[in-house]
Amino acid sequence: MDLAAARRAVLQLLGAVAPADRAALLHWMRTTEDFDKFTEDNNDIILKNIADDLRNCLPLETMLSSEHLALQKLQQQPEPTVHVDAFLYDEDCIDSLCEEGKMSRHYCTVCGSHQTASLGFISHSFSLMELKFIYHHVLPDLSGKVLVDVGSRLGTVLYGVLHADICTQGSLLQNADVVIMNNVFEYFLHETEQTRAWEYISHNVRKQGSLLVTVPSLEDSLSGLQTNIQLSTWVEEIPLNYDVYPQKDFDREALEQIHVYKIL
């Protein structure tokens, strides 16, 4: 069926719906996620399959034994917060787990009462939406380029393994055309170590014209640290258009944390 015939068929169907139900049907058509499967491309399906496979062999909390400081910082959050890996668990997945009683979006503020408050969620991986935004709308064609994902964790950004402290990888950083840094140090290192790591990054990510993608912004990451990094002589921020997804329910706030800089 071509587009014109499909349109006629939809209009005919709407014409056949009981008038009292038409508004409800139109509302459902505008808001439902049941149509997502028709717009998913093969890449979405591959990424979802990878997430399914990983989810089935990792514990629900998806924290690594080396991430003890991140666990400690989670417990120090002002509101009760749990780690829910955004690459492995999308909203539908969380809903199903909540229905099964294996996960909760709320916590009880007074034990035994019905008073509840929203539980904070934090993710140490990019979600599918953030990854697609970066690869489709932030980065240029990567053919022949060297991309380094600092702190690759589950391998959501880049499935390649080089197991080392980034502060020992100067030449890798010096040769990179694109460096991606998703909340690498904030939750995982003490402030003095963060300061040292950022100094190391700023000394080694120097290839003129290369790109540095960060979450959150460099200003935010460095604001609480005593570093000698001069952002204005190191990088220039490239403005991003965060309005690339037409759906109403996309997480714009998460995308706004993504920043890209050109190395000067």
Ligand X SMILES: C[S@@+](CC[C@H](N)C(=O)[O-])C[C@H]1O[C@@H](n2cnc3c(N)ncnc32)[C@H](O)[C@@H]1O
List residues binding ligand X (CB under 6 A).
Answer: 67, 87, 124-126, 149-153, 156-157, 165-167, 182-185, 188-189, 197
Nearer to ligand X, 181 or 235 (CB): 181
Nearer to ligand X, 28 or 159 (CB): 159
DSSP string for 38-66: HH--HHHHHHHHHHHHHHHHS-TT---GG
Residues 214 and 181: beta-carbon distance below 8 Å: yes
* Rounded CA separation 189/167 (Å): 12
In the complex, the smallest distance separating the C-beta of residue 25 from ligand X, rounded to whole angstroms, is 39
Cβ partners under 8 Å of residue 89, min gap 6: 55, 97
Give the number of other CB atoms < 10 A from CB of residue 250. Answer: 15
Strands 178-182 and 211-215 turn out to be parallel
Nearer to ligand X, 2 or 253 (CB): 253
Nearer to ligand X, 107 or 122 (CB): 122
In the complex, the smallest distance separating the C-beta of residue 216 from ligand X, rounded to whole angstroms, is 11
Nearer to ligand X, 124 or 259 (CB): 124
Measured from each CB, the residue nearest to ligand X is 151
* Rounded CA separation 96/81 (Å): 19
In the complex, the smallest distance separating the C-beta of residue 15 from ligand X, rounded to whole angstroms, is 48
In the complex, the smallest distance separating the C-beta of residue 152 from ligand X, rounded to whole angstroms, is 5
**Side chain identity at 50, as an amino acid letter?**
I
Residues 264 and 232: beta-carbon distance below 8 Å: no
Nearest one of 89, 66, 87, 212 to 154, comparing CA atoms: 87
In the complex, the smallest distance separating the C-beta of residue 49 from ligand X, rounded to whole angstroms, is 17
Nearer to ligand X, 196 or 207 (CB): 196
In the complex, the smallest distance separating the C-beta of residue 19 from ligand X, rounded to whole angstroms, is 49
Nearest one of 64, 83, 76 to 121, comparing CA atoms: 83
